[in-house]
Structure 1
Amino acid sequence: MSRPLVGTRHLVRHALRRDRIILPLWIVLLSVMPASTAGAYEQLYPTEAERAGLTAAMGNNPSISLLYGPAFDLSTAGGFLAWRLIGFMAVMIGLMAIFTVTRHTRAEEDTGRGELLGSTVVGRFAMLTAGVIVAGGASVLIGVLQSLFLLGTGVAVPGAWAFGLSTAGAGLVFTAIAAAAVQLAEYSRTANGMASAVLGITFLLRGVGDSSEATWLSWLSPIGWTQQIRAFAGERWWVLGLALGAALVVGAAGYALLPRRDFDAGLIRSRPGPATAAPGLRSPFALAWRLHRGSLIGWSVAFAVSGVLMGSIASGITDIIGDSAQAREIFARMGGSEGMIQAFLAAMTGMFGVIAAIYGVQATLRMRGEEVGYRAEPLLATRVSRLGWTGSHLVFAFLGTALVTVLGGVGVGLAHGLRVDDVPGAVGDVLTGTLAQLPAVWLIVGIAVALFGIWPKYSVAAWGVLAVAVLISMFGPVVQLPQLLMDVSPFTHIPKLPGGEFTATPLVWLTALAVIALGAGLTAFRRRDVG
């Protein structure tokens, strides 16, 4: 214990090597996103009258505040950008930090690699410190790059730095939360779930505080702090101290808890299971259900809640857009309809499709996690066939994505239908739009299966494929990318429903490509070595 941090430098290098694909994707995606949308404000609201109308509509709309946060100053491009994106950036950078810390600490203990490293000349706190350095360093780098890219768009210098430093502060807070969660939980999945649940709770606290008279609730949330810094609206730099202080306190708690637990164990121990397995746990699908059920339930709840939130603001979207012809044009490109409410609903169904693809890739790559964790090989040494094992997981990758998109669509339809007194019509229209996203989602999942089967060491590249599709789908219409680049994303070819014209041809082609990719991946997996 005289040198508790010995070996940290080597573990940091090892972590960076392991994350040489996924971490740069996080950094690039989150760094360029704010600057890539900075020019949209001038297109959406070119006149002072339109900007004044936007400010008036946002100041009295609690539903919008629940989703985006308080609108401090919408008269400038920077203020609009901070209002629309800074909370979303805080959530995304928080997820990045949580997953990174867990992957290089608790997950290493789960697989047994941590014990091997611990048997060498490695200090007790070295592994945790390496994970914190990588996640915290990535958070700071993202914040700095966001500021530099924003400065390149011509926005105010103080606001650009406030934007980037606020998101970096959120990343540091959730790095510390993850550092504490990995001491409490016994497994990496549980640690990710704990830390992600804290992130979700802080988002809800921020939302309730910003949309009600209980504004003090926003000050309990690290996500709320990013907005209370007021980037581009009279910056309050002292709020950064809250994030840094919370990161230090919670991080110190994580370090204090580490010596109090046994290696490969958590302070909160799971209950011992029965001596014999239940009769229902005698098939590959039953095991897959045990492995995927927590994630599926969490995603289902998130989609349903998000759907209700989106549906509740759909009828007021015309107040946000106002009389801006440019805003109507961009929404029409995103939604495929000249009616603003229909275009907004179509844009939301497209967003649900993109997010469902994230769950689909996650569920697919769980097979790779089981393989590298040496849990698949003993199972496949029994009478369980390779197709039976992969099929049990892919049920959740394909049908699970269908379930979450349906729940999101039903949530939007119900909330919107109640406001316009047409629940059956609204649910039917939105549900049709969400179901139309599935061929594109399944193509992304099929590509992930193909990578798993053909190039298993590069399975993580599926996140890169998804990242490209996300960037093109979310920001292509806003920055008016050429159609040739837009066509790279499978979501570009989906009919824009509700409101647009339904065409079955692209859905058939996307489904056929998904089947081809799936077949190629399964065929290759049957022929290659496991491990």
Structure 2
Amino acid sequence: MTATLTAAPTTRTTDQFAQTWRLVGLMARRERIIGLVTLVLFIAINAATAAQIAASYSTPAQRQLLLNGPGSNAAFRFLLGPLQNLESTAALTVWRAGLFMVAALGVCAVLMVVRHTRAEEELGRYELVRSCATGPLASLAAAAIVASGFCVVVALGMSLMLFPLGGTASGVFSVFAQYATTGLAAVGAALVTAQVAKTSHIANLTASAVVLIGYLLRGVADSIDGWSWLRWVSPMGWAEAIDPFGADNLWPAVASLAVFACGAVTAGVVVMHRDLGAGLIEPRPGPSSSARLGSVGAVAWRTTRSLLASWVVGIGVYALIVGFMQPSVNELAEGNEQVTKVLQQSGLGGDLSLLFVITMVAFLAVAASAWPVNLAERLRTEEAGGRTETLLGTPLSRSRFYLVHVVLAWLGVALAMMVAATALTVGDGIAGGGWSESARHSFAAAGAQIPAALVVGSIGLALYGVRPALAHVGWLIVIAALLLGPLAGMFGLPQWVHDLSPFTHSPQVPVASMQWTPIVVMVAVAAVFVGIGWAAFRRRDIT
């Protein structure tokens, strides 16, 4: 008896963008939580900044002091740009938070694009999508649409809130153009790097570097005479050239739109001609064999050292900039009753420069606490790729695997904070603030913040230990620790809410005496979360 087998018909399409809008819906649904949290965070930070500006610089005399003090300081110009417009609270808010938040939006847009393109390709899901009746450009176009829509929504939120603060229609529209077009330029850069880089990590670093290096070049142009031409070589410089509430010049925004268009076209051409999984920028291949990779600790260090280096370098660079600003901070309090009142009510007994060090070190500690969360994300990726299962197939216990990565995470936090303290000292010393006393204050403040950062980082690793998909929640923990800790005072939150952040309990050295009880308690809490993650990881399935 014979049977005839008839092949199932294969659905093919000649439409290069087939099913794009269905993929847009899928990607938007996946971003609904991260995108909403990011939007709320941007608006909350901008609103808190506006409230602080309205309280501290409500009169023309106070605004003039701001212009003559921090506004004329090279370090502040490097970080925030030139202060040119004093007419309204809206204009001062744009100066205080504008360019930094614009750069942050660019980095968020980069992460979103890569998350839906190269990261999906690494995990094998892009191949499944392409096996359906989808066009070869559908995923790329959908990622561009979702990321662009995100940038536009954030731009609307950041600009429309300026109307009650005295913003004019032309100035508000210029702010919208600042955020939207710079975000779109970052999307264009990410579309290209996602195609030419072989891994999502390299794609994220490359595209984010375009944004952040542009921010640094813009700072050099603003702070050093004769280098103003650097303002015109990057989208961040073009964003500053728009000059909201001043010239309101929209022509530089056209250049950012051109970057987006060129990036989208280039990425489309590349994706049509490259092989699946291929890339021009590849990780440096390791040796075929090595006696130095004989332990799980050596393997963990080898696979994560570049990621740790990016965090340490980023934190160190920002700390160096803060160090340059430190000698000029006391100018903020000159003639400003609001700032003086805040200083007197702090109860810490130090001058504004020391309070500035403590505050900025707390922000740097929050950044350092994100390193273990990023490591948990890397562990999730390794597990999804089957590499963790391969390692655990050797005589390697789950306990040792998990605890080695915990040790790496803790040491990374300590390293980042020590580098931050060193950079603060170097910046302050070069700017004329002294060396020995600055080093003593910086290292004392940084050391006091390490236990709080360990708590946040240990929670992130514990979430991975319980379930790999929960590793993403670690970022929400970092954001919550920031909003309820260093930023809690800007929102007028009650003390019990403030106390939910471990950074609230860090000793305020050097202006207050060292208190060892909160240090011991926070280290113990971090150890408890390590134990929870360890116990869960030993028992759950490896996916």
Q: TM-score, normalised by structure 1?
A: 0.94
> Is structure 2 residue 424 aligned with structure 1 residue 407?
no
Q: 8 Å contact 2:332–2:339 — kept in the other structure?
A: no
Secondary structure of the corresponding residue to residue 4 of structure 1: coil
Task: Provide the aligned length of Structure 1 versus Structure 2.
Answer: 530
Report the counterpart of residue 181 of structure 2 in structure 1.
169
* Equivalent in the alignment of 1:92: 104
Change (3 A) 1:458 1:498: same
Verify: 1:251 aligned to 2:264, yes or no.
yes
Distance 2:48 2:247 in 1: 23
List per-residue Cα deviations over 1:129-164 (Å, max 9, x = no partner): 121122111111111122233335554443333223
Identity of aligned residues (%): 33
- Distance between the aligned counterparts of 1:339 and 1:438, measured in 2? 23
1:283 corresponds to: 295
Q: Is the 8 A contact 2:372 2:461 kept in 1?
A: no
SS at match of 2:488: helix
Deviation at 1:355, TM superposition (A): 1.2
Deviates more, 1:103-112 or 1:160-169: 160-169
CA distance in 2, matches of 1:329, 1:314: 20
Q: Which residue of 2 aligns with 1:127?
A: 139
Distance 2:251 2:324 in 1: 35
Report whether the alignment pairs 1:457 with 2:444: no
Say which SS state the counterpart of residue 50 (structure 2) adopts.
Answer: coil
Residue by residue, what CA displacement relative to the aligned partner does 1:267-304 show, whole Å, maximum 9, x if unpaired? 34556554x32111232222212221111112222222
Offset, 1:423: 1.5
**Is the 8 Å Cα contact of residues 310 and 348 (structure 1) preserved in structure 2?**
yes
Contact 1:37 1:479 in 2 (8 A): no
Contact conserved, 2:365 with 2:417, CA < 8 A, in 1?
yes
Higher alpha-carbon deviation: 435-444 or 253-262: 253-262
The answer to whether the 8 A contact 2:460-2:474 is kept is yes
Say whether the 8 Å CA contact 1:335–1:497 is kept in structure 2: no
Contact 1:63/1:313 (<8 A) preserved? yes
Q: Which residues of 2 match residues 321-340 of structure 1 at below 5 A?
A: 321-330=333-342, 336-340=348-352
**Pair 1:377 & 2:408 matched:** no
Q: How many angstroms does 1:417 deviate by? A: 3.3
Deviation at 1:418, TM superposition (A): 4.4
| Mapped contact 1:335–1:496 kept (Cα < 8 A) | no
Q: Which amino acid aligns with 1:528?
A: R
Amino acid at match of 1:223: M
Contact 1:314–1:344 at 8 Å: present in 2 too?
yes
Q: Aligned residue for 2:197? A: 185
**Distance between the aligned counterparts of 2:444 and 2:150, measured in 1?**
40
CA distance in 2, matches of 1:436, 1:417: 22
1:12 matched to 2:27? The reply is no
| Offset, 1:175 | 0.7
Change (3 A) 1:12 1:247: same
Question: 1 CA distance for matches of 2:270 and 2:344?
Answer: 53
Q: Deviations over 1:228-263 (max 9, x none)?
A: 222233422333222212211222222222223211
Matches within 5 A, 1:19-168: 19-153=31-165, 155-168=167-180
* Contact preservation (8 Å) 2:463, 2:474: yes
Which residue identity lines up with residue 142 of structure 1 in the other structure?
A: V
Match status 1:215 vs 2:210: no
Greater alpha carbon shift after TM alignment, 135-144 vs 32-41: 32-41
Between the aligned partners of 1:333 and 1:449, the Cα distance in structure 2 is 37
Could you tell me how far apart the structure 2 residues matched to 1:374 and 1:184 are? 24
Partner residue, 1:230: 243
Query: One-letter code of the match for 1:459?
Result: A
Aligned to 2:213: 201
Change (3 A) 1:256 1:331: farther
Is the contact between residue 51 and residue 74 of structure 1 (CA under 8 Å) also seen in structure 2? yes
Are 1:262 and 2:275 matched, yes or no? yes
Tell me, what secondary structure is at the counterpart of 1:21? Answer: helix
2:459 is aligned to 447
Is it true that 1:2 corresponds to 2:10 in the alignment?
no
Q: Sort the Cα spacing of 1:17 and 1:386 in 2 relative to 1 into closer, same or farther, 3 A.
A: farther
The Cα shift of 1:448 comes to 1.2
CA change 1:60–1:145 in 2 (3 A) is closer
What is the alpha-carbon distance in structure 2 between the residues aligned to residue 89 and residue 148 of structure 1? 15
CA distance in 1, matches of 2:509, 2:323: 15
Paired residues of 2:315 and 2:367 also in contact (CA < 8 A) = no
Residue of structure 2 in register with 1:366 after alignment: 378
**Contact kept? 1:97, 1:174, Cα under 8 Å:** yes
- Provide TM-score, normalisation by structure 2: 0.92
For 1:20 and 1:132, locate their aligned partners in 2 and report how far apart those are by CA, in whole Å: 16
Compared with structure 1, are the counterparts of its residues 216 and 321 closer, same or farther at alpha carbon in structure 2 (3 Å cutoff)?
farther
Shift of 1:522: 1.0
* C-alpha contact 2:199 2:282 (8 A) present in aligned 1: no
Counterpart Cα distance in 1 of 2:353 and 2:45 = 25
Change (3 A) 1:273 1:513: closer
Q: Using the TM superposition, give the Cα deviation of residue 208 of structure 1 relative to its aligned residue in structure 2, in angstroms.
A: 0.8
Deviates more, 1:513-522 or 1:494-503: 494-503
Distance, in Å, in 2 between the alignment partners of 1:116 and 1:401 is: 38
Contact residue 377 and residue 530 of structure 1 kept, 8 A: yes
Among residues 518, 525, 541, which one is paired with 1:513 in the alignment? 525
Structure 1 Cα separation of the partners of residues 274 and 494 of structure 2? 56
Contact 2:462 2:534 in 1 (8 A): yes
- Alpha-carbon contact 1:21-1:460 (below 8 Å) kept: no
**Aligned ranges for residues 420-431 of structure 1 at < 5 Å?**
420=432, 422-431=434-443
Q: 1:95-146: per-residue Cα shift (whole Å, max 9, x none)?
A: 1111111111111111222222222212111111121122111111111122
Q: Are residues 329 and 441 of structure 1, via their aligned partners in 2, closer, same or farther at CA, if it must alter by over 3 Å?
A: farther
Greater RCO, 1 or 2 (C-alpha within 8 Å, sep 6+): 1
State the alpha-carbon separation in 1 of the partners of residues 467 and 102 from structure 2: 33
Cα distance, 1:447 vs structure 2: 1.4
Measured in 2, the distance between the counterparts of 1:382 and 1:333 equals: 59
Moved more, 477-486 or 444-453: 477-486
Larger Rg: 2
- Superimposed CA distance per residue, residues 352-385 of structure 1 (whole angstroms, 9 cap, x where no aligned partner): 1111112221122322222223221222122121
Alpha carbons of structure 1 residues 281 and 381: separation in structure 2 relative to 1, 3 Å: same
Distance 1:333 1:486, change over 3 A: farther
Q: Is the 8 A contact 1:335 1:344 kept in 2?
A: no
Match of 1:241 in 2: 254
> Does the 8 Å contact 1:86/1:226 carry over to 2?
no
Deviation of the 1:319 alpha carbon? 1.8
Q: Which moved further from structure 2: 306-315 or 501-510?
A: 501-510
Which amino acid letter does the alignment assign opposite residue 343 of structure 1?
L
Equivalent residue in structure 2 for 1:351, among 341, 363, 388 = 363
